[in-house]
Structure 1
Amino acid sequence: MKKIKKSEFITTDWSGGTTSEIYISPADASVSKRNFDYRISSATCDLDKSVFTDYSGFTRYITPLDGDMKMMNSEDEINLKPYEVYEFKGSDSVTGYSKVRDYNLIIKSELDGDMYSLKVNGIREVENNSKEMIIFNFNSKLMANGSAFEEFSAILIQSEEKVELSGSGDILICEIN
């Protein structure tokens, strides 16, 4: 188990807010060069309308963290509550209409991945049956294997590794194969 603290996130400005890169693989990859296998980030949007960046060749997963999110994917209207995950092609024409903080997984289309939320209420063991798993805690009061799982931080676990979470709240999980 490797903890990834907020202080380790790489936070940069974009035209509509900030984005915090939580994890990128491989570690020396660059989002601007599009030479990554997958990237996990959380961004704020301070605009009433924002056009999503084209990530042709990638699959995207997104969820709002602190409010409802309205998006248009071409002609389809998407309305998400916090921790509801929406999957779409990186080449899709998507426009957002919400001022929220979101959480994102962008993964090469030829790789297999998933993003979903889990509720922790008491003790919950999470076992990784994929290649890599990243568990994100936005604002829940949790412990991981008996030590603090800080808010706005993540945990990376490898294949067949387990983590015992205790406390109460929601987490987001990204599985990569």
Structure 2
Amino acid sequence: MEITIITSDTFKINTWSGGTTTQFFMYPKTANYPELNFDFRLSMATVSIEESVFTSLPGVSRTLLVLDGEITLLHENRYAKQLSKFDSDEFEGGWKTSSIGMCTDFNLMTTANTIGKLDVFNPKQNENILYPIKNKWDWVFIYNYSGEVTIDINNQEYIINQSDVLVIRQPIATTMRINAIKDSTLVFSEIVTN
């Protein structure tokens, strides 16, 4: 089990037609986003115009989770879904997708046989959460959207400040203890690369 912390000053920030996107992690490291040759990518985006069209990403499966604001996703000839804070939608990047509304969202993109899931936790100050890490995942990521927490894994403590990401590669089945130093919002991403 390999554990690292990625600090926010190392993130790549780019613009897209509807706002900005901040890349937290892309695997493998040799992947090039415009070529869509990654197994998975974790990012956060702002949608700062009332109506926007999503970039076409054929061959990419997407999970979008709203962190702030409200947005309606319109998947042409498929369905529309309204998303409020902490709601999510799973869809294919090759679909014609547009949106109405403004928000900040967390994105998990996967390709080929890679699968993943997202969860949100909102521990209050001084609250402790026990969270089981399962060894069926290849990766576990914890993004601290707001607040500050300490995370104890096998008697090793990690401080996760706002906007930082804790990365666990090849996790071993164990239970981590999360202690909120401040009210916090954490996004968990669990990923299997086949």
Query: Match for residue 2 of structure 1?
Result: 4
Once the two structures are superposed, what CA deviation does each residue of 1:61-100 show, in whole Å capped at 9, x if it has no partner? 0011111121111252211122222111121221111221
Match of 1:125 among 122, 125, 130: 130
> 2:30 matched to which residue of 1?
28
Map of 1:174 onto structure 2:
189
Which ranges of 4 or more aligned residues in structure 1 deviate by more than 4 Å?
A: none
Q: Give the count of matched residue pairs.
A: 177
| Contact 1:128/1:157 (<8 A) preserved | no
**TM-score (norm. length: structure 2):** 0.83
Residue matched to 1:68: 70
Give the distance between the partners of 2:80 and 2:64, measured in 1 at CA.
15
1:116 matched residue in structure 2: 119
- Counterparts of 1:159-170 in structure 2, within 5 Å, are 159-160=171-172, 163-167=176-180, 168-170=183-185
Q: Which amino acid aligns with 1:125?
A: L
* Partner of residue 83, structure 1: 86
1:97-119 deviation line (CA, Å, top 9, x unaligned):
12211110000142221122233
| Cα drift, residue 161 of structure 1 | 6.1
1:148 aligns with 2:159: yes
SS in 1 for 2:23: strand
Structure 1: how far apart are the matches of 2:163 and 2:71? 19
Deviating more after overlay: 147-156 vs 3-12: 147-156
Answer with 1 or 2: which has the greater Rg.
2
Give the match's secondary structure for 2:102: coil
C-alpha contact 2:39 2:112 (8 A) present in aligned 1? no
Change (3 A) 1:161 1:170: farther
Q: Distance in 1 between matches of 2:188 and 2:158?
A: 19
Which shifted more, 69-78 or 3-12? 69-78
Determine helix, strand or coil for the equivalent of 1:29. coil
Gaps of 5+ in 2: none
Partner SS for 2:48 = coil
Q: Select the residue among 96, 99, 102 that pairs with 1:96.
A: 99
CA contact (8 A) 1:138 1:171 kept: yes
- 5+ long unaligned stretches in structure 1: none
Distance change >3 Å, CA 125–CA 27, structure 1 → 2 = farther
RMSD after superposition: 1.8
Give identity over the alignment, percent. 23
- Report the TM-score when normalising by structure 1: 0.90
